[in-house]
Amino acid sequence: MSRISLFLVLAFAPFATSQDKKPPEKKDLPRVLYAIPLIAKPGEKQKIALRGRFLATVKEVKVTGAEAAKVKFLAAKAAGVPNNYPAERIGDSEVEIELELPKDAKPGEVKLTASGPAGESNAYTLLVRDDLPVIAEKEPNDGFEQAQPIAVPGAVEATIKNERDVDVFKIEGKKGDKLRIEVQAARFGSPVDAMCVLYDAGRTVVASEGGTASNPDPVLVVTLPKDGAFFLSVIDANDLGGGNFGYRLVVKAEK
């Protein structure tokens, strides 16, 4: 090889290499933020809208983590974002599916991936019902007088249905009972930034929690200071709300 052609090979080789290694453009990849409704029911066929970014051109949704799960693509479209709401949290597009999870689908293992012309989305971990007794939230529940009773152990499937919606639940217990009160929302992409306050029957605050940096969903572990009724309020810390603002509240004995 002559000196000049060796020069050419060395001079141009780095360009060819950097072209080959250029990372794929990621900004327009579909992104699944959360499901509406937020909580999936094993053993039932249900319609679910996956809300997120760049989902309007999605053509297929895949499910992993549950053998024999059936998923059917229904439609994909742009979706409105309310004024002043952050699109990166609320999502500006959605894909509708019909999902049928097997009865033995395990919470934490079912993941959904949406794909379209730009590529494949994140693998979104769906919030799946466990075997705790479950009730649906019943509005109005906006104050102590309207508090909705919940049994322990139990779960409530609820929504911060509009801005400044306050949800109050009533828990009966005995002095010394150790309870774990937990919200499931932000970890599953829900736009709800939950804040919980537990009051005794005299309306004195027993405990409160707004979540931490590593787990934005509040977890209250409390030992009840007396026998009787306690009231738990759940609000969105940013005073936002809407039909998409789903959350699950779990109350059980702490071991």
Residues lying near Ca ion in the complex (CB under 5 A) are found at 141-142, 161, 165, 167
Minimum CB distance to Ca ion smaller for 73 or for 85: 85
Measure the N-to-C terminal CA separation of the chain; round to a whole number of Å. Answer: 76
Minimum CB distance to Ca ion smaller for 58 or for 186: 186
Burial 203-242 (b: 16+ CB within 10 A, else e): eeebbebebeeeebbbbbebebeeeeebbbbbbbeeebbb
Rg (CA), the chain: 24
Q: 78 by DSSP, 3-state: which?
A: strand
236 vs 180: CA distance, rounded Å: 20
Q: Report which residue type is found at 28.
A: D
CB of 167 to Ca ion, least distance (A): 4
CB of 141 to Ca ion, least distance (A): 5
Name the residue with tokens 């005299």.
202
The strands making up 148-149's β-sheet, listed across from edge to edge, are: 148-149, 167-173, 228-236, 194-200, 205-209
CB of 159 to Ca ion, least distance (A): 5
Minimum CB distance to Ca ion smaller for 54 or for 199: 199
**Which residue has its beta carbon closest to Ca ion?**
167
CB of 204 to Ca ion, least distance (A): 22
Minimum CB distance to Ca ion smaller for 142 or for 200: 142
Minimum CB distance to Ca ion smaller for 141 or for 244: 141
CB of 160 to Ca ion, least distance (A): 6
Minimum CB distance to Ca ion smaller for 98 or for 142: 142
222 vs 137: CA distance, rounded Å: 23
Minimum CB distance to Ca ion smaller for 58 or for 197: 197
49 vs 76: CA distance, rounded Å: 9
59 vs 48: CA distance, rounded Å: 15
* Residues 6 or more apart whose Cβ sits within 8 Å of residue 210: 193, 194, 195, 196, 218, 237
CB of 248 to Ca ion, least distance (A): 12
CB of 146 to Ca ion, least distance (A): 8
